[in-house]
A = this chain, B = another copy of it.
Amino acid sequence: MALQIENNEVAVFAIGGLGEIGKNMYVIQYQNELVIVDAGIKFPEDDLLGIDYVISDYQYLIENQEKIKGLFITHGHEDHIGGIPFLLQKIPNIPIYAGPLATALIKGKLEERGLLNSTEIHVLQEDDFVKFNYLSVEFFRTTHSIPDTLGIAVHTPQGVIIQTGDYKFDFTPVGNQPAPNLQKMAKLGSEGVLLLLSDSTNAEIPTFSKSERFVGNTIHQIVERIDGRIIFATFASNLYRVSQAIDAAMQNGRKVAVFGRSMEQTIVNGRELGYLNIPDSELVDAAEINKLPANKVLLLCTGSQGEPMAALSRIANGTHRQIAIQPGDTVIFSSNPIPGNTISVNHLINSLEEAGANVIHGKINNIHASGHGGQEEQKLMLRLIQPKYFMPIHGEYRMLKIHTGLAQLCGVPKENTFIFDNGDVLALTANSARKAGHVPAGDVYIDSNGIDDIDNIVIHDRQMLSEEGLVIVVATIDYHKGLVLSGPDILSRGFVYMRESSTLISQAQKRAFHVIKNYLDQRNEEKTPKNRNFESILKRDIIDDLQEFLYRKTERHPVILPMIISTKV
């Protein structure tokens, strides 16, 4: 597959990340060199049943793998690094460049899948400059809800292309993290930037996001005034938040116990990289908790999004091996529910309160701040970088649209802004930009732990099954004699109760019998050649008849599954 661009044009496109929140993956290519920025997963929406992850379609990269110079990682969130194991299984040996924390997280992933030695990982520092033949890459510090976040500037023969990564402008970051490097961004802006690809997540928020430090103050105030046990739930990847919860615990004489595998990993990574400052003496394990007074412990755990298998859900519903809610416990959700998770989070809060806990959550207590900048920060980025062309990334359509409006207000001419879909190719020279065709960029579904791609029909079936139920029709047939030897029997699951609907089922049975009988009679009369498709034609006939009949009777569309057992001819 070749791009439909001129030899002097730079191609820029997303394989994932446009029109969605998730699976970020962007490609910048000049002639026979391309660099990839990020390789994320998306968590499936509720209607993707049994799907664990969604990744991007790597077909273009597979076909052009000899051109790949490197995969550059903006930061260690799943929607930016989660796809790496799947990508490396398809294309080994892509050199990876990532900051210290992202590197630790990626290594963890690769180790789990036995891929640790499949490629080299270069640990990036902000001042690094990675040079290829045509392309070279440099970096600038940003701030986000995870440490070691970088914006990426790719120097091409036609100009500089900047991908911001996820960012907010947190001028007072927590701990020893540096503030955003405004000077480097402004310098790139002064020298001239051809294209800016900028994070659109909070384009609908007209303000400036609160600093993580502001959240820290609230956490301290809350922890200070609580008497019983504290269960503190947040995103494991938000090392800032974890660090502030630990600080608050230590300042109030509470030992910290950690629950949830990713939270445990965060503590290990955070201590190794120097982002968490907690002596061994302050950490306790589950067994020790019950020996300490309630006001001397803080439990740090995963599951703030209501994930059913995470520590907090298991604690709430009494299935956790070591911890159960006891009256007087306070559970702090230092997070906001991601839109798709609102219902499960609400359910979790109800369970916790029913079990006797007090629950403090983000919306009512200022104990969460977004990791993404609002409009004022998006405008600040635009004014620092002063790009000639602009493409909003990392967002659903309405966010991309608002962000494009901001770019125009900040001096980018309307005709220089591009709201693209995944796969749409932008072809650039120093003085021109045009849409130039499309590369494959569909969704690829990952089931359980495998890499097998699940296609859309499977997902559709699962959706039908979950919403409408299943009707199985079984019959044994002797094609030669034109006889129905047994059945048709009808089984259903998730459709109607058999007992209550015996009339419906026996009617369906009769209809199925007539369909089969008619088919066999016609077939014998016509003396048509016995083609290989006879079974599928019969099945189609059964499905069509029963579908119409059952819908007329019940207004439902169950999945109808005929099983025809034919006697050996």
Contact = CB atoms under 8 A, between A and B. Distances in A.
The 7 closest A-B pairs by CB, nearest first: A186-B186, A208-B208, A171-B379, A172-B409, A183-B190, A208-B376, A183-B186
A376 B171 contact: yes
Nearest to A186: B186
A73 to B, nearest CB: 25
A182 B179 contact: no
Given A183-B189, A183-B384, A213-B409, 18 more contacts: A169-B380, A171-B376, A171-B380, A171-B383, A171-B409, A171-B410, A172-B379, A182-B182, A182-B186, A182-B189, A182-B380, A183-B186, A185-B186, A186-B186, A186-B187, A186-B384, A208-B376, A380-B380
21 contacts: A169-B380, A171-B379, A172-B406, A179-B410, A182-B182, A182-B186, A182-B189, A182-B383, A183-B186, A183-B187, A183-B189, A183-B190, A183-B386, A185-B186, A186-B186, A187-B187, A207-B207, A207-B208, A208-B208, A213-B409, A376-B376
Can you tell how many copies of this chain the complex includes? 2
A245 interface: no
A401 to B, nearest CB: 17
A390 to B, nearest CB: 14
A213 B187 CA distance: 27
A10 interface: no
Interface residues of A, number: 28
A297 interface: no
A410 B187 CA distance: 20
A411 interface: yes
Contacts of A169: 376, 380
A231 interface: no
Nearest to A171: B379
Contacts of A208: 207-208, 376
A382 interface: yes
Contacts of A214: 206
Interface string A363-397: 00000000000001001101110100000000000
B187 A190 contact: yes
A409 B180 CA distance: 14
Interface of A: 169, 171-172, 179-180, 182-183, 185-187, 189-190, 206-208, 213-214, 376, 379-380, 382-384, 386, 406, 409-411
A376 B374 CA distance: 12
A533 B187 CA distance: 76
Nearest to A409: B172
A172 B405 CA distance: 11
A214 B409 CA distance: 11
A213 B410 CA distance: 12
A172 B207 contact: no
Contacts of A406: 172
A411 B186 contact: no
A216 to B, nearest CB: 11
Contacts of A187: 183, 186-187, 190
A386 B190 CA distance: 19
Contacts of A411: 179
A376 B179 CA distance: 13
A286 to B, nearest CB: 37
Of listed A169, A172, A189, A386, residue having the most chain B CB within 10 A: A172
B182 A384 contact: yes
Contacts of A213: 409
Nearest to A208: B208
